[in-house]
């Protein structure tokens, strides 16, 4: 009888531990005193994993600021790569607490996730080779090979509205497009001016490329969160408002985009 009672007690303990473990996963993207945040790994000036394994860029700095305001110091952050085509899945599956990855707010995405912010406004532009004189307006793309990233709003904007006859090639990352541009496999790369400026200002790329200087769309970057999480949205918006009011936003913009000469817009009004 004693053995039977001991076995029952042990089973009860196992069940209790299992229930506790399941419960700890309810707060998706965070685990006690740690938090997982989605960023880009291949966007200089915004989100870049450096050779030494650290992370740099405006989005990274914004994410660190927000995380600190939520109670997570930098050493408690786990960074997870968030490619354009995977951002919604990462959020919905609970793989990350939130995503800060040049994530433009639009109606299609709002059906799947919610956004805090916006925290940055940029415009879609084109990057071409420095010696290219054939592309000066968006219509010139109709006879050209254009590269962008799978899942980005930029590619669809050009193909559906601006230059339907462009030979659009969608690759996995902007760095792949840039290699194609340098090797003359494509004629232009399109995405947000902030992203293009980050690439063009890298030491190994200086003098090779130029921005055409177009404003083909307004891109409001937001912080992607799980649909319906109004509590987290409110906390992040409060953190973003503080970041602007205490001067940190301006400091981070100059720090990350200043070297490229990029002309940024003022901090956008954060939505309610």
Q: How many CA atoms lie within 13 A of 83 on its CB side?
A: 11
CATH superfamily of the 122-211 domain: Periplasmic binding protein-like II (3.40.190.10)
Identify the pLDDT of residue 10: 44
Identify the pLDDT of residue 246: 98
Distance CA 148, CA 155 (A): 6
Pairing state between β 77-81 and 113-129: unpaired
Distance CA 60, CA 225 (A): 16
Identify the pLDDT of residue 7: 46
Q: E strands of 92-144, at which residues?
A: 98-99, 113-129
Distance CA 25, CA 11 (A): 22
Identify the pLDDT of residue 28: 65
Identify the pLDDT of residue 159: 83
Residues of the chain with CATH 3.40.190.10: 30-121+220-260, 122-211
Q: E strands of the chain, at which residues?
A: 30-31, 34-39, 42-43, 47-49, 55-56, 77-81, 98-99, 113-129, 145-149, 167-171, 188-192, 209-211, 218-226
C-alpha pair distances (Å), 242 with each of 41, 68, 119, 144, 238: 26, 12, 11, 44, 6
The arrangement of secondary structure in 30-121+220-260, i.e. its CATH architecture, is 3-Layer(aba) Sandwich (3.40)
pLDDT tens for each residue of the chain, 272 residues long: 444 444 444 444 433 433 434 333 345 676 668 999 999 998 898 999 999 999 999 999 999 999 999 999 999 999 999 998 899 999 999 999 999 999 999 999 999 999 999 999 999 999 999 999 999 999 999 989 999 988 777 878 888 889 999 999 999 888 899 999 999 999 999 988 998 988 887 878 888 998 888 888 899 999 999 999 999 999 999 999 999 999 999 999 988 887 666 778 999 999 86
């Amino acid at each position: 009888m004693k053995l039977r009672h001991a076995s029952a007690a042990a089973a009860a303990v196992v069940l209790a531990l299992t229930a506790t473990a399941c419960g700890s996963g309810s707060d998706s993207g965070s685990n006690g005193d740690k938090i997982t945040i989605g960023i880009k790994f291949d966007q200089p000036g915004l989100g870049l994993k450096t050779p030494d394994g650290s992370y740099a860029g405006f989005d990274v700095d914004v994410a660190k600021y927000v995380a600190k305001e939520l109670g997570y110091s930098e050493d408690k952050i786990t960074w997870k790569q968030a490619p354009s085509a995977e951002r919604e899945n990462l959020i919905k599956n609970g793989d990350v607490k939130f995503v800060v990855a040049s994530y433009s707010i639009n109606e299609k995405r709002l059906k799947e996730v919610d956004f805090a912010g916006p925290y940055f406004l940029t415009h879609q532009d084109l990057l071409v080779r420095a010696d290219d004189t054939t592309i000066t307006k968006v219509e010139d793309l109709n006879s050209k090979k254009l590269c962008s990233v799978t899942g980005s709003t930029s590619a669809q904007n050009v193909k559906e509205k601006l230059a339907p006859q462009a030979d659009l090639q969608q690759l996995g990352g902007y760095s792949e497009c840039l290699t194609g541009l340098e090797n003359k496999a494509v004629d232009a790369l399109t995405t947000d001016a902030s992203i293009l400026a980050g690439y063009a200002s890298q030491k190994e790329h200086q003098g090779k490329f130029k921005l055409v200087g177009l404003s083909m769309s307004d891109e409001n970057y937001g912080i992607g969160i799980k649909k319906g999480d109004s509590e987290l949205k409110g906390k992040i918006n409060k953190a973003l408002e503080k970041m602007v009011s205490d001067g940190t936003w301006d400091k981070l913009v100059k720090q990350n985009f200043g070297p490229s000469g990029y002309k940024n817009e003022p901090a956008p009004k954060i939505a309610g």
